[in-house]
Amino acid sequence: MNWSGLISYAVSTAYTPGPNNLSSMSNAARTGLPKALIFNLGIYTAQVIMSLAAALFCSALSDLIPQVMTPMKVVGALYMLWLAWKTYTSKGLGEKDSGSSFFAGFLLCLLNPKYMLLLVVSLEAYIIPVYGGDLPLVCLMAVGLATIGCSAHLTWALFGGAMKKLFTCHARTVNTVLALLLVYCAVSLFL
């Protein structure tokens, strides 16, 4: 197995800016790290479920990817644009934030095409060709991919929590930049 290829692909994809990471950072900056962990738990739970489902149904997903990806991109892009709007119109830190709930994190991840692509490429290109006959091992590796993703969005949340004071002083600028990054993520799905 090409471990270096799999790990470098998974880590570089998981740690680059995307909806999960940007929202994790934004939530930690607004609500503090302890409250943002609930949101991150929602993301991780969705990642584990998606990873196991992708591992179990990878051959079926390979046949369905062309039909499923376009609607998934549209729904994911619309959700990211909604998140961008909510981020941009946020009044700043300390406000009541319904966007940092477990369910919000769970839904964000389920609608995140970036994570689905990470799963499909990792499973189809690296894991299934070598370990396709060992379903428990494939599932374990899929959960490992979710754990790499979890480490990425927790790192972004730690950054957001650490920068809370700076973000408080410059809330409008930070919200604008984060909103524009989310818009970029939404638009880049179609490029």
- pLDDT at position 58, please? 75
Q: Global pTM?
A: 0.75
Reported residue count of the chain is 191
- pLDDT at position 94, please? 47
Distance CA 191, CA 187 (A): 7
Distance CA 19, CA 84 (A): 10
CA-derived radius of gyration, the chain: 17
Q: Alpha-carbon dihedral of residues 163, 169, 172, 176, nearest 10 degrees?
A: -30
- pLDDT at position 177, please? 83
State which H helix or E strand residue 100 sits in.
none
- pLDDT at position 66, please? 62
What are the mean pLDDT values of the chain's consecutive 10-residue runs (191 residues total)? 83 83 88 90 96 81 63 74 80 56 90 84 82 87 95 92 79 81 77 74
User: Where in the sequence is the domain holding 66, given as residue range(s)?
Assistant: 3-188
**Tokens 């940007």 belong to residue:** 22
- pLDDT at position 68, please? 66
Number of domains forming the structure of the chain: 1
- pLDDT at position 98, please? 52
- pLDDT at position 41, please? 96
- pLDDT at position 63, please? 56
DSSP per position, 89-112: H---TTS--GGGSHHHHHHHHHT-
Instruction: Count other C-beta atoms under 10 Å from residue 99's C-beta.
Output: 18
DSSP per position, 126-137: IIHHHHTT-HHH
